[in-house]
Amino acid sequence: MPLSSEEIERYARHIVLHGIGGPGQQKLKAARVLVIGAGGLGSPLIQYLAAAGIGEIGVVDDDAVSLSNLQRQVLHGTPDIGRPKVDSAADAIARLNPHVKVSAFPLRLAPDNARALVRGWHVVADGSDNFATRYAVSDACFHERVALVTGALGQFDASLTTLRPFGEAPSGEPNPTYRCLFPEPPPEGAVPTCAEAGVLGALTGIVGSMMALEVIREIVPFGRGLVGRLLLIDANDMRFETLAYRWDPDNPLSGRAAAEAVAG
């Protein structure tokens, strides 16, 4: 997919960058990325994906912009209050980069529609704010064999990982699933919501930008990504820690019991 002269100038700093270059920029242009949530994490994530020249960005969100969003959801502005977030996101993407196609999905992702939504995308990036959506997205991406970048926020802390469970680790065992890392969601009400506990606005920018970095890495491989590694961020002490995790043979998606059920 050739780049126009305008695109060559727009992406010049990528094109001269060792590890991306012209071929890598063409891969970005051909890529289709689905973003779950146009909120705190989705805002910087969507902006950096659009600026990077992702060919098509899908945005899934059933919410409207409210005044309390604007402390962290920098994709939207005061004039957008009351508008569907997918519409505000589409306008923001068009302002940033008219070469990017936008597909808006003004709905809530749930177990009954998740597989259809993620099917056919090259990468899914989940910036949702609840465990039910995270498990629905991760299960769907496993079944549809789509790479998933998923981030989560606390008040002053955050986590980030990349999932490619249809591939193999260097050891030869399967890559881990989300359920290898978190087998079960916490009891309902055990973790306070953002509205209840609050969240540091600038932290969403850090994590959303890092999610964009991981998405780009999935499309144009460079360096070492976060497959099989969980990045933990503590904004109180400005501390970053990376923990390794592995495939769990007892996980319900790709564990031994699931493999035996398929074989039998």
pLDDT means over runs of 10, the chain (264 residues): 93 96 97 97 98 98 97 97 98 98 97 97 96 96 98 95 95 95 82 78 97 98 96 97 96 84 60
**1 domain residue, yes or no:** no
Tracing tokens 């990325």 back to the chain, one arrives at: 33
**145 domain residue, yes or no:** yes
Determine the 3-state secondary structure of 36 from DSSP. Answer: strand
The answer to whether the beta carbons of residues 142 and 177 sit under 8 Å apart is yes
Domain count, the chain: 1
**Where residue 221 sits, what CATH number does that domain have?**
3.40.50.720
Residues 6+ apart with CB under 8 A from 159: 151, 152, 230, 231, 232, 233
Q: Is 0.75 topped by the overall pTM?
A: yes
Q: Quick count: other Cβ atoms within 10 Å of Cβ 262? A: 8
- What is d(CA 264, CA 244) in angstroms, rounded to the nearest whole number? 32
What letter represents residue 197's amino acid? A
- What is d(CA 117, CA 67) in angstroms, rounded to the nearest whole number? 29
Domain span holding position 79: 11-263
**188 domain residue, yes or no:** yes
- Name the residues annotated as catalytic: 194
pLDDT, position 261: 66
**250 domain residue, yes or no:** yes
